[in-house]
Amino acid sequence: MDVIRIANPKMFLQPRRAATEFSGYAVEFSPFHEHWVAVGTAQYFGIIGNGQTVVMELLPDGSLATMRSFDTQDGVYDVAWSETHPNQLVAACANGHLKLFDVTTSDNFPIQSFAEHTNEVSGVNWGLVDRTSFVSASWDHTIKLWHPQHPASMQTLRGHTGPVYNAVWSAVEASHVASCSGDGSVRLWDLKTPGRPVCDIAAHAHEVTALDWNKYNPTQVVSGSVDTSLKVWVRAYVARS
């Protein structure tokens, strides 16, 4: 991992470097501790092998120091900090499990495990409005809603016909989630009516691997695909090139 200080928008200084034992798959700054960074890693490029969730601290000199590391039997594809507990984060694993870790514990074990997905968990995101729950996206074609204190999911969203690569929360509506999938679609869900999506968009000709909700304009969702296209969807769900 490199830390880059930008003194001038047109130039980059030599970054500080830090190394993880395995390949990096995800990074996320803590919403509570400005110098904490969580890193999800996987052995052998995530194809096979173990994983590790690493918490690093950005030091005053710009270097990164490992604070804690948590080993998992499978690769870690994504990480998300809790929006309510400053010391907790959840890791999405290649074996379909999610692990909730607490940085202050004295051992290497998760304080909670979630084991309902039957295939890789590729994305995990904590709620931005309600802040008490998180969603996971899996290659088993489902999205699940979880509460950190309960090992059983609260809801399962079904409808995608391919791997779900990510599920992201609206920054305005507490019950709204958007998802993207290998089936080429982007779907918008209302957790108050979880039986089916409120909107199913045939977004791209090929797999949709990236998605985000505009935090400053709740009517906009942006999607990216392996077909090299990027599309912005507005409330009327009309694509803009």
Q: Which domain holds residue 210?
A: 116-241
Asked if residue 125 is part of any domain, the answer here is: yes
Residue-wise pLDDT tens digits, 15-26? 677 889 999 999
Asked if residue 7 is part of any domain, the answer here is: no
Band of residue 13 on the pLDDT scale cut at 50, 70, 90: low
- What is the separation of C-alpha 127 from the centre of its chain, rounded to a whole number of angstroms? 11
Asked if residue 30 is part of any domain, the answer here is: no
Q: What is the CATH number of the domain that holds 239?
A: 2.130.10.10
CA–CA separation, 88 vs 81, rounded Å? 6
Asked if residue 202 is part of any domain, the answer here is: yes
Angle 81-78-221 (CA atoms, 0-180°, nearest 5)? 85
Asked if residue 109 is part of any domain, the answer here is: no
CA–CA separation, 162 vs 182, rounded Å? 5
Asked if residue 147 is part of any domain, the answer here is: yes
The identity of residue 131, as a single letter, is: R
CA-nearest of 87, 72, 89 to 33 is 87
Mean pLDDT over 98-121 rounds to 97
For residue 8, the 8-state DSSP code is: B
More confident residue, 17 or 48: 48
Asked if residue 151 is part of any domain, the answer here is: yes
Mean of all residue pLDDT scores within the chain: 92
Asked if residue 167 is part of any domain, the answer here is: yes
Percent of the chain predicted with pLDDT > 90: 83
CB atoms within 10 A of CB 12: 12
Residue-wise pLDDT tens digits, 122-170? 999 999 999 999 999 999 999 999 999 999 999 999 999 999 999 999 9
Our count of domains for the chain comes to 1
